[in-house]
Structure formats: structure tokens, C-alpha cells
Structure 1
Amino acid sequence: MSCLICAGQAESVECTSGWEERHCSQCGCYRMSLALILVMMEEGQIFDTERMRAWLVSRRELMPIPTIDHSQAILAL
């Protein structure tokens, strides 16, 4: 399985319906909404990997597994 942020090797973890959870050695653990994944695939968008990783680190101070939806997505320009 691949990381939804950096496309590197990641482990898929079973989680709540409507979400995908990944554990990536570079990006860490996170959950992403399926709706966001589908929109990004449809529009050919990708994440700004470094900025998303920094956001994940900051969010882990508040919750162990951050969730990413449309409002949290930091996309590459």
C-alpha cells in the first residue's frame, strides 16, 4: 500500500467507514477522508508533502492520529 501524502511505502490500517488510515515511516499515522481522496484523484491534485508533514506533527500534539479532510489539505501549487 502507498502513502496518500508522499506516495512512499505505507501500511493500511482498518478504520471507520468513510476514512482511510495509513502508517508511513516518513509521514507517520493519519486518517484521510475518502471524499478528499476521490476529489484529489479526479482533479489530479497532489499534496505539498513537506507542509503536510509539518501540519501532521503539529496536530499530533492535540490528537495521536490526525484526520485530514478538505479543509486541512495542503496541496502542491
Structure 2
Amino acid sequence: MNCLICVGVAERILCSGPWEERDCPECGRYRVSDELILALIDQGQIFDVSKTRRWLDDQRTAGCTPSIEVHEALLVP
């Protein structure tokens, strides 16, 4: 399986709900909403790897697996 952020090799984690969860050696463990994945595909967008990794690191200070939803992502054409 591939990382949804950097496209490197990542482990897919089974989770309930409308999410894809990955554990990447470079990006760490995170969830991305199915809605966001579809929006990215529809718009031909990808994550900005360095910005997303920084955001994930900031979110991990709360001690839980970060979840990226549409309202938290920047979809720039």
C-alpha cells in the first residue's frame, strides 16, 4: 500500500468509518477522509508533502492519530 501524502510505501490500517488510515515511515500514522481523497482525485491535486508533515506533527501533540478532513486541506488549483 502507498502513503496518501508522499506516495512511499506505507501500511494500511483498518479503521471504521469513512476514512483511509496509513502508517508511513516518513509521514507517520494518520487518517484521511474519503471525501478529501475523492476531492483530490477529482481536482487532480496532491498534498504538499512538507506542509502536510508539519501539520501532522503539530496535531500529534494531542496524543491521537491525526485526521485530515476536507475543511483542513488546502485545495489549490
Taking structure 2 as the reference length, the TM-score comes to: 0.92
Aligned residues: CA RMSD = 1.4
Contact 1:52 1:74 (8 Å CA) reproduced = no
Change (3 A) 1:75 1:50: farther
Q: Give the partner amino acid of 1:64.
A: C
State how far apart, in whole Å, the 2-side matches of 1:29 and 1:76 are. Answer: 24
Change (3 A) 1:16 1:42: same
* Aligned pairs, number: 77
State how far apart, in whole Å, the 2-side matches of 1:21 and 1:51 are. Answer: 19
Taking structure 1 as the reference length, the TM-score comes to: 0.92
Q: Which runs of 5+ in 1 are unaligned?
A: none
Could you tell me the percent identity over the aligned residues?
A: 45
Q: Secondary structure at the match of 1:61?
A: helix
TM-superposition CA deviations, 1:3-48 (whole Å, max 9, x none): 0011110000000220010000000000110010011011100111
Change (3 A) 1:73 1:34: same
Q: Which runs of 5+ in 2 are unaligned?
A: none
